[in-house]
Structure 1
Amino acid sequence: MLPNRLALLDAACISVAIGAAQLLRFGFQSDDVIVTQRVQPNYWVVSVAIAVLWWLFLTAWNSREIRILGAGTEEYKRVTAASLYLFGGIAILSYAADVDTARGYVGLALPLGLALILIGRWLFRRRLAAGRRQGKFTRRIVILGGPGAVEHLCRGLMSAPEAGYVPVAAVMPGFRMEAPNGQELPVPVLSVSTNLEGILGAIEQGDADAIAISSGSALKPRLIRELGWELQARGISMIMAPALTDVAGPRIHTQPVAGLPMIHVTTPKLEGTKGVAKRTFDILSSGLAMLLLSPLLIAVAIAVKLDSPGPAFFHQDRVGKDGAPFKMHKFRSMVVDAEARLEALRAQSEGNGVLFKLKNDPRITRLGAFIRRFSIDELPQLWNVFVGEMSMVGPRPPLPGEVATYEDYVHRRLMVQPGITGLWQVSGRSDLSWDDSVRLDLYYVENWSMMQDFVILFRTAKAVVGKDGAY
């Protein structure tokens, strides 16, 4: 059902793009889209042919496959690849056949059509995610593995309902039906059998659409292969879920060796050309932002001075890359003796146990409440970015006192420059628990890419306007 709806949406987007390109470039004429010395075809027919081919290319690239809908970037990658291959093929054929293709027509059709299809897919994904949160358009999945792997994968899938996988049961070959630590699993255990018949019986009992095989199971490779054959015959998908946590797709590469799928996990490096690209982007974006926002920065500085006694700016010690200290700049949003009054309020903290947060903090000034709500108080950090102490995107800049309490693994947050915004900013901000805050920062450090930075910046605007977790 979902692929059929998506096919109609693609057809509509392609039709609008091709029709618009035809009319904008040639009007209602039909004799000069493609010109050769011998042939002058009907160019509305050419447009229809391209539209049909475009739709077929999206089908051939499996861009409507149910398993990629709703989460991740694979859907968008396939749409983009199919579109570029189509028009690349048209260009090659035009050259080989000595056909003069109108550049204006292609220059309109490709970007317009690709933009419409991607926007359509994004809107479709939003509706799909909303439906899946209500229990619609989902796939029932049985998880096979050890107790720890079952619990981890089950909770992970439950935290991402937009992916469309609903864990309904577990199969734990070689273990006991009850949880060994006394804590019940989030789903019922249907079988602990290590033979094929017992596992298949549990899958049928769970009425599963798919089975996810994780780590910790006592199954031999031959039995897993036979299980795959049986699942194929029953139309049930088999998903391998290795024990990899917080690893982004671009870091995973599969290489077949002697019939074995070897999974390579690469580590991104913020050095070399990538590091230069990130730093160049930081300098250009922060410099341009300060230039464009200079009237606002001056106005806010004056307003802060007039609103309450004290300086316009607040400077605070923070810890940067590799533990280097620096002064982080903000517009002052609290009274001048705010730091001295902190200890008296610490018992009322509504933060996550490490960070102090108080929604109705009495130290916040009238103007301060407004500029904090819309993150205007953080704009002076653009200077920190410009001089290289921070980045536009990165982990949250910690206080020295926080760093002193870090466990060893948490110090990995300091491997990159802290950012004005980051995954923590677009995922709840002050409402996050300490563990979630650390997990998001480490995920960013270990999966960094420029594309991810652009996505975070785009999502930051939405988070700031929505005022989620800002106080």
Structure 2
Amino acid sequence: MSQISQVLYWRFFVNLILMVVDGSMLVFANLILFMMEPFSYIPDDNGMVSELATGVLMLLLAMIYVACLHGVGIYHRHIMGDGYQVNYRIVGAVVRMFVIQAAFNYIFGLPLPLHIMVAAAMMTLVFTVVARFVARRVIAHRRGDDRFAYATIVIGSPDCIARTLGRLRQRTQMNYRPVAVCPIGVDPRTKAIVSTPIPDGLGIDDELVVLPYDADLGVTAVGMDVQTLLVCDVIRRDSVEFNVLSLAVESLGIELALAAGAADMGAHRLYLRNIQGMPVLTLRLPQYGFGTRMIKRGFDLVLAVAALIVASPIMAITAIAIKIDDGGPVFYGQKRIGLRGRPFHMIKFRSMVTNADELKAKLAEETGQTDRFIFKMKRDPRITRVGAFIRKWSIDELPQFLNVLRGDMSVVGPRPPLPEEHARYNRLYATRMYVKPGITGPWQVSGRSNLTAEESEQLDVSYVQDWSITGDLTILFKTVGVVLTHKGAY
């Protein structure tokens, strides 16, 4: 929660103050012009100056101006303390504001003359630039006191870490505050990325924590309230290692940044900054932002509650049918692996005989699926009569909405693997565990059991890299068609 609180502080409270200041600059500029030429503004019914209407107009224009500034990205956390990018974005926002004000003036027949609008725009530009200059000085001073800066882990070769730390100390506009380093190198025998010791005499601060390079680096960073992982070299942008690291940290809400020389222009959303001669390329998977994940969770809760209410009659009939069929238990709880490798019990309507798990190994060997992650076979002898029907129409999946309510699963996501399946994942395929498993997902709408193991793996990893709310909605709509056509259901 500490990490989330810090992020919310930066993205809300600090920007809220800046928004108020920016809007005030437009109001201040217009007040000066109003004092100079009051009759150029809104008159009342008697032809006199309407101070109330003029004040409302100024406040409305101030809100529009703040919206224009937001539209050009001035409130992004890497922009607000950067003089170069802030100033040219202010110019873009003022131009947008002038066009909107001119259109507003024309549509509503306001008497504001052109010279007043031009003067207001120019004064607003000057005042905003000055206000932002003061704000940058305050932010830079606070960063010297370890305020207004993001706790950062620097990862790379020891030499590059030392150079990067030196640059960060010299550049007050940089918003990275190193709290730990992770020295790495390439194993000459296996070519794998491994931890490496730091030689003496490099000038790396002894107060910085030295972290090992392992699969728990992201979790360790969260425990240290770190917001950014800055990669300076060794890990190539186009490598599997980078892909694994990116998903591991960004799925936890940690930003991944790279020195520009260590990255290409790949699929991530990129922010290139050149601050006092130090180019830094920040990479971001926007779908792992806090707001987007909260939207997804809210979407899951609403859909799960609605689905359980609507499907309750079907679920009641199904439970009775299963009980009558063979007298066994109605529900089947199976241990599955969820988000970041945490086990949970997935609930389904029982569609197989009670000793189905015991028969699985024998059937896998007979059908040649011992090396496949997802065991599926047509005309599976373990399936009961009722089970065949509810599997055909995916009714057996309905109790999983209870798992969604508990937070174990999402409505859309990769299927939750069995422990023995998860244990055999390679590092790339294991990235599918950086999101919650889902009731439906990419492989269910792309062929389901007809897919090969390689196709299923590719779909799951691609989903983790590229998922979005609109993509989830698309999968849900496709799921309806798949259920109705029974494609790949067995």
| TM tier, smaller | 0.3 to 0.5
TM-score, length basis structure 1: 0.45
TM-score, length basis structure 2: 0.44
Which of the two has higher C-alpha Rg?
A: 2
